[in-house]
Structures are given as structure tokens and as C-alpha cells.
């Protein structure tokens, strides 16, 4: 009997012990990493965000970022430097007021004056780099933050001179040096540059000086290219490829936001052109090509080289 009771106690005890063990729950601490600053604070940490257009991923585009060289987020107002003319002075360096923005967690809502509303997601890549993603077009842009006093506006200007040439409706010749050999380009009085991907993207005219822009008749069309000169920061080469008429080659220097100098090495003649009809860009309808246009241009260049 005692033996039976003892076995019963041991059996009952083992059940209770098993039940107690089953009730023990060990929970590990779960840490959720919260951002040290809000997205609003992050965007305001830097006065200027440079749009690194070459790093863009995706086949679509965010129009106001595609066009902009820099953007700024200042207390709800969205600014952009879409033009090279006046860059560094327009809006105290911020550029034009082109809309407004709001933030929630890492979501960024931008209402652009022309391009409408975009809901974007921001990812911080480093202290001064962010990725801005548009889920509708599956496209990402990459922005690099700077302060105005350490942002190199001149570098951006000279890296993008081909866009600068497009910011005037036409360029009018106002000076031809007395020295230099007579050549056919002496007769050209107007040059018009269009954005890449627009077909024949430059035109020239021999019309007389001073006529209204809309009355200019362009005699010749072709393609142009701007390239670097090794170890020279502020001078470029400009090649005018006249359809069926050969090329004209120049060294291009910028005198100011409204005047350029073209040196013609083959004749050693110097020309000055001034811009007429400044175009103020607020959207991507003109200027930088879209991502698809850039791909088509690269493919076209490859096809030319492979011939």
C-alpha cells in the first residue's frame, strides 16, 4: 500500500513538474531600431541636394528630378535649379520655388507646380546620400547632400555646358576677329541648339543680325557634340556636324551667362555669340533626355561606332 502511494506521488509529481515546465516561456528582448532623425530633419540637414543623374535606375522618370541639377527642401517648400544660367545666384543658390513637400516616416510627398503630385520613398544610403524611389515607374534617383558654401556650382556648370547651350532660343554672333583666315563659318550669324534625342539638334542661319527670333530662317541643320579638353577645366570642344557638308571644330569658352567664345583652330578666327530668348525650365519637357532616350542615344552611338 505504501509502495502504491509512493508510486502515485512520484507519478503525480512528474505530471505537475511537466506542466510547470510547459508553462515556462522565455522571451528574448526585441530591439526595433528607430531613425535617429526624422526624414524632414534629414532633408533639411543639407541645403543643396545634387541629382546624380548618371546613377538613375529604372526605365521611367520623375519629371522634376530628371530636369533638375539640384533640389532643396526648405520648411515645406521644394526648390530646384533647373537652369545653368544663374545657378548659384537664383533663389540665393536654392533655385526656383517649384512646389511643396510633406513627409511621413520615410515617405516623401511632393506636389510640383507643373508635374503634379508624387508619392516617393526615401532610403538613406550614407550621411549625405539618399535614394528617392517611385514605385509607380519603378525608378530610383540618387541625391547627394551639400551646403551652399561648399557646393561647386562651377563644376556642375562646366560638366553640363551642352545643356547651357540649349537654354537660349538662339545664339547670335556679335563679334568676329580681324585676324584669322577667311572661311565659310564667317557667314554664319545664328546657332540654335536643341536637346539630345530630338533628331537634328543644331541649326545655323546666315540671316542678318538683329532680326526678331521668330523671323530667323535656319539654312543648315546637323548634330553637335561637346567634349572635354584634357587637363583644362573651363574650356570644351564643340563640333558642329553639318549634314552632308562636313564638320566645323571649335574650342568653346564661356565669357558669362549670356556670352560664349568660339575659337576656330583651322582658321585661327575667334567668334563671340550672345544668347537671345532665355528659356526658364520648370519641368522636363526640354533639356535632359529621359532614361529611355538616354538608352536609345547610347545604342545609336554604339551602332555608329560598330559600322
Select, from the ranges 98-102, 155-159, 288-292, the one with the highest average predicted confidence (pLDDT).
98-102
For residue 44, how many C-alpha atoms fall within 13 Å in the half-sphere facing its CB?
12
Phi, psi of 282 (to 5 degrees): -125, -5
Residue 300 has pLDDT above 80, yes or no: no
pLDDT of residue 282: 63
Instruction: Report how far apart, in Å, the C-alpha atoms of 284 and of each of 97, 127, 201, 291 are.
Output: 16, 29, 17, 12
**Measured distance CA(250)–CA(177) in Å, rounded:** 14
Find the helix or strand (DSSP H, E) in which 12 lies. Answer: helix 2-23
Ramachandran bin of 123, using left for φ above 0, alpha for ψ from -120 to 50, beta for the remaining angles: beta
Residue 129: count of CB within 10 angstroms of its CB: 16
Residue 19 has pLDDT above 90, yes or no: no
229-263 pLDDT per residue, tens: 999 989 999 999 987 778 999 999 999 999 999 99
pLDDT of residue 52: 94
Q: What is the DSSP letter of 206?
A: -
Buried b vs exposed e over 62-80: b needs ≥16 C-beta within 10 Å? bbbbbbbbbbbbeeeebbb
Domains, the chain, ordered by start: 39-152 (2.40.128.280), 168-278 (2.40.128)
**Measured distance CA(254)–CA(159) in Å, rounded:** 12
**Measured distance CA(148)–CA(59) in Å, rounded:** 31
For residue 11, how many C-alpha atoms fall within 13 Å in the half-sphere facing its CB?
6
Higher pLDDT, 178 or 289: 178
Instruction: State the DSSP string of 279-293.
Output: ----SSSSSSPPHHH
pLDDT of residue 233: 87
Please say whether the beta carbons of 122 and 105 come within 8 A: no
26-64 pLDDT per residue, tens: 455 554 445 578 999 999 999 999 999 999 999 899 999
Residue 171 has pLDDT above 50, yes or no: yes
Instruction: Report how far apart, in Å, the C-alpha atoms of 24 and of each of 17, 19, 21 are.
Output: 11, 9, 5
Q: What is the DSSP letter of 113?
A: T
Residue 23 banded pLDDT, cuts 50, 70, 90: very low
pLDDT of residue 246: 80
Percent of the residues in the chain that have a pLDDT greater than 90, as a whole number: 69
**Measured distance CA(109)–CA(120) in Å, rounded:** 6
Q: What is the mean pLDDT of the chain?
A: 84
Higher pLDDT, 305 or 68: 68
Residue 13 has pLDDT above 90, yes or no: no
**Measured distance CA(83)–CA(95) in Å, rounded:** 8
Best CA proximity match to 205, nearest among 215, 195, 220: 220
Q: What residues are paired with 246 via a beta bridge?
A: 242
Q: Model-level pTM?
A: 0.76
Q: What is the DSSP letter of 52?
A: -
pLDDT of residue 26: 46
Amino acid at each position: 500500500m505504501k509502495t502504491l502511494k509512493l508510486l502515485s506521488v512520484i507519478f503525480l509529481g512528474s505530471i505537475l513538474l511537466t506542466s510547470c515546465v510547459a508553462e515556462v516561456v522565455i522571451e528574448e528582448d526585441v530591439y526595433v531600431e528607430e531613425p535617429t532623425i526624422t526624414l524632414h530633419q534629414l532633408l533639411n540637414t543639407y541645403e543643396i541636394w545634387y541629382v546624380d543623374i548618371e546613377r538613375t535606375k529604372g526605365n521611367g522618370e520623375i519629371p522634376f528630378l530628371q530636369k533638375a541639377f539640384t533640389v532643396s527642401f526648405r520648411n515645406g517648400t521644394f526648390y530646384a535649379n533647373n537652369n545653368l544660367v544663374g545657378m548659384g545666384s537664383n533663389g540665393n543658390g536654392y533655385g526656383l520655388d517649384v512646389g511643396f513637400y510633406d513627409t511621413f516616416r520615410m515617405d516623401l510627398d511632393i506636389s510640383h507646380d507643373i508635374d503634379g503630385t508624387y508619392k516617393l520613398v526615401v532610403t538613406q544610403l550614407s550621411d549625405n546620400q539618399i535614394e528617392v524611389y517611385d514605385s509607380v515607374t519603378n525608378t530610383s534617383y540618387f541625391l547627394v547632400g551639400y551646403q551652399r558654401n561648399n557646393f561647386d556650382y562651377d563644376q556642375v556648370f562646366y560638366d553640363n555646358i551642352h545643356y547651357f547651350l540649349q537654354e537660349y532660343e538662339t545664339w547670335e554672333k556679335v563679334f568676329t576677329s580681324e585676324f584669322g583666315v577667311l572661311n565659310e563659318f564667317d557667314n554664319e550669324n545664328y546657332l540654335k541648339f536643341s536637346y539630345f534625342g530630338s533628331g537634328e539638334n543644331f541649326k545655323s542661319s546666315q540671316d542678318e543680325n538683329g532680326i526678331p527670333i521668330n523671323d530667323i530662317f535656319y539654312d543648315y541643320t546637323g548634330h553637335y557634340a561637346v567634349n572635354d579638353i584634357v587637363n583644362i577645366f573651363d574650356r570644351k570642344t564643340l563640333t558642329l556636324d553639318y549634314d552632308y557638308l562636313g564638320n566645323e571644330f571649335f574650342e568653346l569658352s564661356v565669357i558669362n551667362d549670356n556670352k560664349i567664345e568660339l575659337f576656330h583652330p583651322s582658321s585661327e578666327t575667334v567668334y563671340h555669340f550672345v544668347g537671345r530668348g532665355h528659356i526658364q525650365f520648370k519641368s522636363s519637357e526640354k533639356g535632359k533626355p529621359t532614361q529611355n532616350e538616354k538608352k536609345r542615344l547610347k545604342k545609336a552611338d554604339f551602332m555608329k561606332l560598330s559600322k
